[in-house]
Structures are given as structure tokens and as C-alpha cells.
Chain A
Amino acid sequence: MRKKNHEWEDEIIGLGSGLINPNSEDFRGLREQIETYSSQVSSTDKMQIKISGIKYRMETYLNDPSPKQVIPVGKFLEDLIEIIGVYHKDFATYIGINSSNLSALLKGTRRFNRDLVLKLGHIFNIDPAIWLNIQSKGDIWAAHQENSANYKQYKLNDLLNKAG
């Protein structure tokens, strides 16, 4: 039986029960207080939270060994541009490309390069390497889907045997 000691009791949160009642008075009070708090947060701070949300989503996607779907890197950029509320034309001009090239990046028909991801890294405070790694993840997935049987034949033991 565990002792009751506040020095370590903070290591447990909750009551070990399942889902809570969202219609309870204190749950409604919690929601109301957060609504009030949020209404006082500046639009700039809200935008930063949303940008962080995309950043964390990119990291989670990159680290997921078996994502439910492949997300083109351009989709994350599209979401970020929507969050900051800038016209595509103005965004393209700012990063030194024309609108049709930006459109191609968002659609996935044009590749992200080092120059671009360095610019995006500074604008959104997102590690430039993440953009390229997500792009590579999509490339590898697509190549594997096209010809998985071909790649499965490559094995270390097979190589060692053939190399003599």
C-alpha cells in the first residue's frame, strides 16, 4: 500500500477512471475560463501557437515509422501560409520565386531545395532539415510503392555470399 506523501504524489494525475463528464458544472467552467483567456490572447500569439502546431505535426509525421498517409511537404507550407494570412503571390515575391513556382511547390510538382528551406526555416522558426527530410520520406515511400519486390531482394547475407 502506498503512503500518502505530497512530495511524490504529483507523479500521479487523475483518478484512474475513464472519460469524464463533459456536461458537469466544473467542466463547463473550465471551458468558459479558457474561452475568456483565449479571447484576451493577441492575434500574433495565436498565430505563433498555430505555427508551433504545424511544426510539431511535421516532427510527429517525420518520426512516425508508419504514417496512415503520405503528406507532401508542400501541404505543410500551404497550411503555414494560410495561418499567417498572406496572399500566395506576396509570399512568393518575398521568398524570391514567382507564383507559379510556389503553386508547383504546394502541389508537389516542384522540389524544395536548400535555399528555399533555409528561407522557410528563418520565417517560421522551423529546422530547415525537417522540410527536406519530409520530402525524402515521401520520395522513399513512393519508390518503394512502385517496386517493393525489387528492393526486397537486396540482403546483406546475399551480398556476402555473392561477393565471395
Chain B
Amino acid sequence: MRVNLKEVETRYFHPATISSAALYNMPSKKEGWNFKWRELTKIEGAYFYKLCLNKSPDKVEGLIMMSIYFDEMVFMNNLELAPHNIGKGKKYENVAGILIAFGCRFSIENGKGNYQGFLTFESKTDLIGLYEKKYGAIRTLGQKMYIDPIQGERLIAQYLT
């Protein structure tokens, strides 16, 4: 899927693509990533997607891992941005929004029944307010959250078009 990454310094948009990711695409902790994506890739039944600039298709800007529970409910297990897209000196600013919006789109496409279009995930306790404010997520029991289909379509319109 084609999207555009916004460069922080120049404010220019750069064409990028979200595509399915496999083991050989995965970055390592040595490259500064937090999660062991190469280990995660071995989990059967999970879906992995990478976001890369068209001009540098081998360099991953962000990753998302999702699973479908009970054949109906999409859960976003993990999402991480490349180290150079994090913090005050980050290169591109809308990577997380694009991947979360892609997760919403994935759920509208692949979710079933009452769960179609709901993107569910787990948040750290002190970040719940941030996800509520920034992405319109709703908190349920514990640290579990979801983005409903209507809000999901808003994020899709905001980040994927």
C-alpha cells in the first residue's frame, strides 16, 4: 500500500510503501531496535508488515505485528519505529500514525462479525491517555485498548490517503 512519509526537517512528503515483511527483512537489536523482531517472526499465525521509503526499500522505517484471535478479532501485538524515527531528532514524523491506521484498515478488511474494524492492543499504563488523545483509542479492562471502526476510518483518511 502506498503512503507518504513526512520528513521533519524539510516538511516534504516522500513516497513509501507498506508491505508484508518476512524474517530476512527484519532489523536486529544491534541496529538499535528494542524488540527482537527476528524472533517474533517465528510466531506462526501472526502478520508482519514493514514501512519503507520507495527510494530505500531495504531500509525499514517501522514495523507492525498483528494477530487475529478466534478468527475474528485483530490484535496489534507490537509496533516499533526505526531508531532514527524516534525522539527529538527523528527523521520522519508520521510513521506510527501510518502503521496504526494501517492496522485499522487491516481489521476492517480481515476482522469478522462484531469485531470487524476494531483494532485492539495493549498499552503501558502511563501512555493510555496519550493513545486516547492522539488516536482516539478507548480503554477497557486493565491496559487493553481498542480503536473502533468509525475512528479507524478517520485515522485511515488522515494517515493513509
Contact = CB atoms under 8 A, between A and B. Distances in A.
B95 interface: yes
A116 B70 CA distance: 38
Contacts of B142: 25-26, 29
Interface residues of A, number: 42
Interface in A9-61: 9-20, 22, 25-31, 33-35, 37-39, 45, 49-50, 52-53, 56-57, 59-60
B131 A10 contact: yes
Interface string B55-76: 0000000000101011001011
A101 B88 CA distance: 60
A2 interface: yes
Interface in A100-124: none
Contact of B108 (A19, A30, A37, A56): A56
Interface in B85-102: 85-88, 90, 95-96, 100
B137 to A, nearest CB: 10
A63 interface: yes
Main secondary structure of the interface of A (DSSP, over half): helix
A150 interface: no
B39 to A, nearest CB: 8
A49 B78 contact: no
Size class of the contact patch on chain B: 35 or more
A60 B109 contact: yes
Main secondary structure of the interface of B (DSSP, over half): mixed
Contacts of A28: 141
A38 B140 contact: no
A8 interface: yes
A10 B130 contact: yes
Interface of B: 1, 34-36, 40, 43, 45-46, 65, 67, 69-70, 73, 75-81, 85-88, 90, 95-96, 100, 105, 108-111, 114-118, 120-124, 126-127, 130-131, 134, 138, 140-144, 146, 148-150, 153
Given A10-B134, A15-B78, 7 more contacts: A8-B90, A17-B78, A19-B46, A25-B142, A34-B114, A52-B149, A53-B108
The 6 closest A-B pairs by CB, nearest first: A29-B141, A26-B142, A14-B78, A16-B35, A38-B114, A13-B79
12 contacts: A10-B96, A13-B100, A14-B35, A16-B34, A16-B80, A19-B77, A26-B141, A33-B140, A34-B73, A52-B117, A53-B116, A56-B105
